[in-house]
Structure 1
Amino acid sequence: MITVTAATGHLGRLVVADLLERGVPAGEITAAVRTPSKAADLGVRVVEADYDRPETLAPAFAGTDQLLFISGDTLEQHQNVVDAARAANVGLIVYTSGPKAETSSITLMSGKHARTEQAIVASGVPYVFLRNGWYLENYTGQIDQFLGTGVVLGAAGDGRVSAAARVDFAAAAAAVLLAPEPGSTYELGGDQAFTMSEMAAEISRQSGKPVVYRDLPEAEYAQTLAGFGIPAPFAEVLANADHGLSVGDLFVDSGDLHRLIGRPTTTLADAVAAALKTA
């Protein structure tokens, strides 16, 4: 039995679909979700599993051979999942972590992801860590705003990000769930890294509208985001991530993602083209 947590989220849905496409019987896939009514269209077994309600987790994980643990919001939630997986005698935890979690200057990585990895190791449950890089959708999802203002704001300098599409990371997760190598850690990123200036130029090239990248100091970028209505603590997290990008913390050249999915990863050009079709 393969159990996918957060299966109604963007990544979780893609993983379930990929597993089904690979021929895994629907009866051998469990979607563990906070709101079961939202998972009726997945076509697999559905159980309630709320990271904030520990009593729902161990029953949801019962009988699970491979658990895809898609990261949540807080360390407390993550500890709840790890404790429940151990109590339910889960055979393997596959956790969606972040790039260079042990050494990254990005608070999200060195804090939540690194500490969750440590908790999983300490639990004694066999594991695989998928250190997922940034999604291309993090950028293409803002393409209407970029086109409207003509500006991409950030604090990334000339740093290069090895972004890939969610569908790429989902395919990697499915591949690992079906042929896991316990104890493995994969640094996952796109084949072609790019700077924010290069991304702005690609959007401009394809759209025919001028779009430029404007680099800001980290603190000023955080203040700017807060001015747009983003809560200040989250704005600081985003700005800190951009600083990490500027010093190479989101650059991945392992080739792990390409090897796991058996094909080249989605390019920036293709992702921009797809986003412009719906812009």
Structure 2
Amino acid sequence: MKIAVTSASGQLGTAIVEHLITEVGKNNVIGIARTPEKANHLGVEIRKGDYSSREQFNEALQDIDTLLLVSGMDKPEKRIQQHRNVIAAAKQNGVKKIVYTSIVGSEEGNAFSPIVKSNRQTEKDIEESGLQFSIGRNGVYIEPDLEYIDQYVKEGEIRNCAADGKCAYTSRNELSFAYSQMLTDEKHNGQIYNLVGEAITQTELAEFINQVYHTNLSYHPVSVAAYEEERKIALGDFLGTVIAGIYEGIKIGVNNVPSDFEAASGRIHKAIPQIISEYKSVN
């Protein structure tokens, strides 16, 4: 069985390829990347594939049985057609199954909603493709918070607009393990899973980071408007609005969802303190 992974040069795609190699062997894993040389380190066959090019995916998906489609990073209005290019090429090439990395969230109510809405449309397109499918809805990654620890320590706090809302965090490593199972076991066909861990507040996140890193962080809530303005200055209008929208979603509860991780992966999701400890040990 040949399994292809799109966006193989990205952090999630790379992690999924590495897990798949242990499951099915490197000769059965194909990486697809817009810039193939960025994925050469993976040690598997790499094919060129840009979501905007149906023709490239017609080539890239030849002799592929199962496809892992990592959600694109373009603006929401462009993603739907880009994903449709891949789905159409998969059908043309006789791919039997698509596994899609979607996202937890609400289609309305915050600035992140347009991205969630575009993901839901791709879910629908895959369900209606006639192919076997399995869909994971990813929780918020914990890694960006951990990559930001030096800045948190400098400021002495975690500051955002999530207030007391709970967020069911996950990690790229946990997700990649779940996706490797969803790709290789037919029992997951037709299923949609929330791939998340236990939901925690920002105050609890600060406490867990303090436990592992021996820091003294506190949590400081600010208004949605203030946080959005701050993020726009730091990251630009598009990304700043998106990041503020994620935390506004946490505030109103859209990231406090039940976990299907055990059903998808065969084991319980690692606890957040364990994930933080494991991240610290390799970074």
TM score, norm. by length of structure 2: 0.89
1:176-214 deviations in Å (ceiling 9; x for gaps): 111133221111111x22111111122234434321211
Structure 1 gaps, min length 5:
none
Whether 1:134 and 2:135 are equivalent positions in the alignment is no
How far off is 1:155 after superposition? 1.0
1:94-113 to 2 correspondence within 5 Å? 94-100=99-105, 106-113=112-119
Among candidates 155, 158, 176, match of residue 170 of structure 1:
176
Contact 2:32–2:48 (8 Å) recurs in 1: yes
Among candidates 262, 267, 270, match of residue 266 of structure 1:
270
| Aligned counterparts of 2:124 and 2:268: Cα–Cα separation in 1 | 31
Cα RMSD for the two superposed structures: 2.1
How far off is 1:166 after superposition? 1.0
Determine the structure 1 residue equivalent to 2:37. Answer: 37
Counterparts in 2 of 1:31 and 1:232: CA distance versus 1, 3 Å: same
Contact 2:138–2:170 (8 Å) recurs in 1: no
Structure 2 gaps, min length 5:
none
How far off is 1:258 after superposition? 2.5
| Aligned counterparts of 1:59 and 1:208: Cα–Cα separation in 2 | 51
How far off is 1:274 after superposition? 4.1
How far off is 1:277 after superposition? 5.1
Contact 2:136–2:193 (8 Å) recurs in 1: yes
1:27-66 to 2 correspondence within 5 Å? 27-66=27-66
Determine the structure 2 residue equivalent to 1:88. Answer: 93
TM score, norm. by length of structure 1: 0.90
Determine the structure 2 residue equivalent to 1:246. Answer: 251
Alignment-mate amino acid for residue 154 of structure 2: G
| Aligned counterparts of 1:202 and 1:177: Cα–Cα separation in 2 | 32
Determine the structure 1 residue equivalent to 2:193. Answer: 186
Alignment-mate amino acid for residue 131 of structure 2: V
Whether 1:234 and 2:235 are equivalent positions in the alignment is no
Counterparts in 2 of 1:253 and 1:274: CA distance versus 1, 3 Å: same
Provide the secondary structure at the position in 2 that maps to 1:123: coil
Among candidates 154, 158, 167, match of residue 148 of structure 1:
154
| Aligned counterparts of 1:189 and 1:146: Cα–Cα separation in 2 | 24
| Aligned counterparts of 1:104 and 1:131: Cα–Cα separation in 2 | 18
Aligned-pair identity in percent equals: 29
How far off is 1:126 after superposition? 2.5
| Aligned counterparts of 1:61 and 1:68: Cα–Cα separation in 2 | 11
Number of residue pairs the alignment of both structures matches: 275
Provide the secondary structure at the position in 1 that maps to 2:168: coil
How far off is 1:32 after superposition? 0.9
Counterparts in 2 of 1:104 and 1:165: CA distance versus 1, 3 Å: farther
Counterparts in 2 of 1:8 and 1:60: CA distance versus 1, 3 Å: same
| Aligned counterparts of 1:51 and 1:278: Cα–Cα separation in 2 | 32
| Aligned counterparts of 2:5 and 2:69: Cα–Cα separation in 1 | 7
Contact 2:193–2:264 (8 Å) recurs in 1: no
Determine the structure 1 residue equivalent to 2:208. Answer: 202
1:63-114 deviations in Å (ceiling 9; x for gaps): 2111000111232322222222222222111000012566785415532211
1:133-185 deviations in Å (ceiling 9; x for gaps): 11111321211111111121211111111112211110110001111332211
| Aligned counterparts of 2:15 and 2:138: Cα–Cα separation in 1 | 15
Alignment-mate amino acid for residue 173 of structure 2: V
